[in-house]
Amino acid sequence: MPGSCLYVGKVFHRRLRPRRHELSYRVFYMLLDIDELPELGSRSRLFAHNRFGLFSFYDCDHGARDGRPLRPWIEMQLARAGIAAGGRILVLSMPRVLGYAFNPITVYLCHDGSGDLAAVLYEVSNTFGDRHSYLVPVAGGEAAVVRQGCAKAFFVSPFIAVAGSYEFTLVRPGDRFGLTIRESDADGPLLTASFAGEARPFTDAALLNTFLTHPLLTLKVVAGIHWEAFRLWMKGVRLVDRPCAPASGVTIAAPATTPIRVK
């Protein structure tokens, strides 16, 4: 199981209806062991934990957003779902860059005491300031590739209604990491979004290189979202009404389907 590292790669989206639309951007994510965050922040000159830095990770940007450590909040959600984890929790997230953060999706990989993957928590944010999480148990968590699914409960795009379902395909972290999300509605497949990246060491040299090759990443993500929304609007895709946020901040999904075992 890897420790904290960087994943540098590409995000790809393909929308099928009512107009075809594709995008691809170079991005990077950090994979962080939440128990190592204070140590990472103290030993690095370019990464900070709960304070300003070139790159930083603030607990208040995630979970309950109250600034308290993340592990107790995550373990509370696992307990609600009847999942006894107790092992490492790895978080895949874009950091704050020069104090600014926006994460379309943050992924928490929750392991049990044996080191197997017990559950995945998908924390989804929209550009309206709303956030919702999907907690999906994992069966056979030693597999390298895991498929999961859940019903959609949260408004993400002003061009897609809150209906249908998600299918997640997750390639567990190693030399590479991959996540593909397929969204479907009553008329069939609608959207595919994916990230595929290669691992880089969590060193100041790698952090500096990543900043120089991906400057102001989080600002560019927000700018890119609005630019792609404008392109969709120009193609004639209609806006949908924004519903109220779900009463609960976390949706607990049914257990995952049998994972794919790969060599």
| Per-residue pLDDT reduced to its tens digit, 189-207 | 999 999 999 999 999 999 9
Distance (Å, rounded) from C-alpha 53 to C-alpha 70?
20
Token pair of 191 as six digits = 């959207």
Q: Which run of H or E residues covers position 89?
A: strand 86-93
pLDDT value for 247? 83
- Helices of type H across 49-96: 70-80
| DSSP conformation class of 94 | P
Amino acid at 236: G
pTM, full prediction: 0.93
> CB burial class (10 A; 0-12, 13-18, 19+) of residue 152?
buried
All residue ranges of the chain with pLDDT < 70 are: 1-2, 141, 255-263
pLDDT value for 61? 96
pLDDT value for 144? 85
pLDDT value for 255? 65
Distance (Å, rounded) from C-alpha 101 to C-alpha 150?
27
Neighbours of 238 (CB within 10 A): 9
